[in-house]
Structure 1
Amino acid sequence: MNARLHSYCQRIGLDAPPPPTPEGLDKVQAAHRQAITFENIDVLLGKPIAIDGDAAFAKLVERGRGGYCFEQNRLYADMLAAIGIATRPLLARPRLAIPEGMIPPRTHVLLLAEFSGEPWIADAGFGGSYVPPLPLQDGAVTTTGDGARHRLRRIFRPDGEWVLERAGSRASTDGRALDHADWQAQYTFDLAHVEAADLEQANHWTANWPQSRFRLQPIVSLVLPDGFMALSGRSLSIARGGEAEKREIASDAEWREVMQSHFGIALTEDDVARIAP
């Protein structure tokens, strides 16, 4: 095992890397999302978001921070490669909470893996809810620990688009899901080849466009074995084992403490003064 893979396994709570199988993929992705927080703090602090492999490893593993999809899935792809699972990036259009008829830009990255010729999607960087690995098959369905179901559907269009959908409790999301258990689109994607320059451009737009949701308020989440925990602005929501609680964070001091105790993100008082809503 190389040194980086060893450190990554320690970071996500695995004694050893799993085998390069669909079951191994499921195990490492769940461990990743339950250990490494999804967050946009550096965007709000005006720091550049570097998405090369060295930068992602240094920030998310060595410094114990979190990040958003371009950082999370770069680290994930590198570590899967070290395990023996080859992947390539795909760009997606987030659909969660997007009005009907609106076509959003491709500002989410996920991964396409392959096992014995069978393609699978893998995603350790979606902050709205947990997205489990799924075989790239029309109608593929699986259930996660929070009780939600997840489904892939092929949209029969010339560009061969796919849609990832979720049906489950709103409580185990970041709050953008509709308050019902029907299928809701999370994002759409196709299998077009993605270059590093495409990722750099999408990352730059996401981090710097003034109306990007990542520039408007803190967006923080962590997957739980049987639920989900999210901090949107000052609103903290925790869903665990079918029970849900939600409360507003009253002070900057409490907000800073919650970031540390619940999400493992240590911030200075100056940082909090700059970004706490």
Structure 2
Amino acid sequence: MPFDLTGYLARIDHDPLPVSPEGLTALQIAQLRVIPFENSEPLLGRVPDLAPSAIWRKLVVEKRGGYCLELNTLLGQALEVLGYQATPILGRVRMGAASGGPRAHLAHIVTLDGTEWLVDAGFGGPGPEAPLMLGWEAPAEQGCGTYRLRPDAATGEQVLERQTPDGWFALYGFDRVPVTAPRRRSGQRGLRHMGQVAFPEPPHDASLAFRRTGEPLRSRAEAAGGHARVAEQGGPLGRSYRSLWPAG
């Protein structure tokens, strides 16, 4: 189906945007502030449908949230229709670890007048609200925190880090391996197996999380004092879940 730019802009409550660094920043912030990260379907053991029509129906028509492969697929379609040169990437989530797990986090590199920007409206943790310039290692202060992109010689990745009171905290690393449909499907499967690679519990499956820019990352677990019981139609799942993400 053709991408409905008018419908998308209505969903993120924004006017048409110029193709410029300012327009790119406004686009990412607008989507982050309106369409939340939420992982209810992976948590319930469902595999979200990544077909563009299914993503459109869920995020735009039904006005729900989604996780990175859904949120940044939608953003990538908007970028293409608006005229941006956007290249998808698949990152390895680290969340403080020295290296990441499988390539399971979708984001984009946008090239504008020879300058590259990391554009990401789908990270389920304390990620940046605005694009970050690649090749510029100085920290970038934003309203939600201070970030930097650091080259990691050991893995060949660029690593997105956030400054914390205890030092720089690695969020995810990425390289330029081309993103194909099979790799997207592999990334989707990878979300369900992160815990076997680098984390004590799988971040997207084990913690029910909802977040929009301007809000700390919240989960039902946090609201319930550290644990939550999730009910599906037909009865409770009978499992409790703990929030893994620090507040933004």
What's the counterpart of residue 176 of structure 2? 191
For 1:230 and 1:271, locate their aligned partners in 2 and report how far apart those are by CA, in whole Å. 28
The alignment's C-alpha RMSD in Å is: 2.8
Correspondence 1:190-229 to 2 at 5 A: 190-207=175-192, 212-224=202-214, 228-229=215-216
Residue type at the aligned position of 1:231: R
TM-score if structure 2 supplies the norm length? Answer: 0.82
> Which whole-Å deviations, capped at 9, do the CAs of 1:176-227 have from their partners, x for residues lacking one?
xxxx252211111112212121011111231477863322231222211xxx
Deviations 1:202-256 (A, max 9, x none): 11231477863322231222211xxx232234213xxxxxxxxxx738997xx9x
Q: What is the alpha-carbon distance in structure 2 between the residues aligned to residue 273 and residue 79 of structure 1?
A: 38
> In structure 1, what is the equivalent of residue 63 of structure 2?
64
Cα pair 1:36 1:66 within 8 Å, conserved: yes
**1:110-164 CA-partner distances (Å, limit 9, x unpaired):** 1011101221110001010132311111414322213x1111122235x642111
Q: Does 1:134 align with 2:132?
A: yes
What TM-score comes out, normalization by structure 1 length?
0.74
Where in structure 2 are the equivalents of 1:238-277 lying within 5 Å? 248=225, 270=233, 273-274=236-237, 277=240
Aligned residues: 233
Contact 1:52-1:74 within 8 A present in 2 as well: no
Gaps of 5+ in 2: 196-200, 241-248
How do 1:1-277 and structure 2 match up within 5 A? 4-14=4-14, 16-98=15-97, 100=98, 103-131=100-128, 132-146=130-144, 148-156=145-153, 160-168=156-164, 180=165, 182-207=167-192, 212-224=202-214, 228-236=215-223, 248=225, 270=233, 273-274=236-237, 277=240
**Identical-pair percentage:** 30
When residues 91 and 249 of structure 1 are mapped into structure 2, their CA distance, relative to the original with a 3 A threshold, is closer
SS at match of 1:200: helix
Partner amino acid for 1:73? N
CA change 1:53–1:161 in 2 (3 A) is same
Letter in 2 for 1:67: G
CA contact (8 A) 1:5 1:82 kept: yes
Amino acid paired to 1:120:
W
Could you list the runs of 5+ residues in structure 1 that have no partner in the other structure?
169-179, 237-246, 256-267
**What stretches of structure 1 move > 6 A for 4+ residues in a row?**
249-252
CA–CA distance in structure 2, aligned partners of residues 97 and 275 of structure 1? 30
* Equivalent position amino acid for 1:6 in 2: T
Letter in 2 for 1:204: R
Would you say the 8 A contact 2:148–2:162 is kept in 1? Answer: yes
Q: Letter of the aligned partner of 1:5 in structure 2?
A: L
Alpha-carbon distance in structure 1 between the residues aligned to 2:72 and 2:136: 24
CA distance in 2, matches of 1:269, 1:95: 30
